Amino acid sequence: MVLHYKNTPVFYKDDGRGDVVLLLHGFLENSSMWDNLKPIIKETHRVVTVDLLGHGQTGCLGYIHTMEDMANAVFAVLDHLKIKNFTVVGHSMGGYVALALAKKTPKSINGLCLMNSTYIADDTERKTIRERANEMAKINFESVVRLSFTNLFSSESRITYKDEMEAALTIALQTSLQGYIAAQKGMSARFDAFEFFKTLKAKKLIIIGRKDPIIHYDRILKDTDGTDIVCEALAYGHMSHIENKSELSYIINHFVE
């Protein structure tokens, strides 16, 4: 289904019945990343998935998509569907969007799961990496996407899940250059959200890959110690929906119950 938001098509799916679970994909992904997990959740819940700005079948609004821009587009879908309360699971960039959405409508959030994601803002080094990637993408988009995407997987997973990785890479390469650049700029511009996340009145979960090259594993465990934020550590890298399917399904299904 498509909702037109600010003259831009926003693609979403709405399946099942019950309490609402909103699933938000990551950078260079689209809502199809949830295809294995969604059938399990929708046995007992209503599941909404959305293609974020510049990804999948959703268009671009400009040359920077802040996490707030993306959250506003998602909120437009929820408002259209008359959804008032929900649990949200966000993978990677989807987690950043989930935090922005929770800031916009904190009383609507029953639970928030950061899956291979973080509340920590980009540091100077990470911002520089994003800027360089954007410049390189203008010259050779496919090479940049292939390199950055492959690095999200642990070395073992690149062998074990080679076919799944190639399928996900095919989807990543369908992202437009504008969507790529706009998302990178938006992720670079976000602020640290730890204090907000810590005080949010909702069920909170962070799923971390022990070999994730992007997420600060040790810092997150230290930050969340003594808080009501639950951390679940999985083996391998950044792509738990591919690298840890069965464990992830169990954890998320338990979280949304």
Q: What is the pLDDT of residues 50-78, one digit of tens each?
A: 999 999 999 999 999 999 999 999 999 99
Kindly state the average pLDDT of the residues 14-43. Answer: 96
Residue 142 has pLDDT above 90, yes or no: yes
- 214-218 — which CB contacts under 8 Å span 24+ positions? 214/92, 214/116, 214/152, 214/238, 215/116, 215/117, 215/118, 216/118, 216/120
Look at the chain and report how many structural domains it folds into: 1
Return phi, psi of residue 123, to 5°. Answer: -85, 180
The string of DSSP letters for 163-179 reads HHHHHHHHHHTTS-HHH
pTM: 0.97
Distances in Å between the alpha carbon of 80 and those of 2, 25, 84, 87? 11, 20, 11, 17
> For residue 150, what pLDDT is reported?
85
CATH of the domain at 187: 3.40.50.1820
> For residue 236, what pLDDT is reported?
87
Instruction: Give the tens place of pLDDT for each residue, 93-107.
Output: 999 999 999 999 999
Instruction: Give the tens place of pLDDT for each residue, 150-208.
Output: 888 878 888 999 999 999 999 999 999 999 999 999 999 999 999 999 999 999 999 99
Q: Mean pLDDT over all residues of the chain?
A: 96
Range of the domain at 223: 2-256
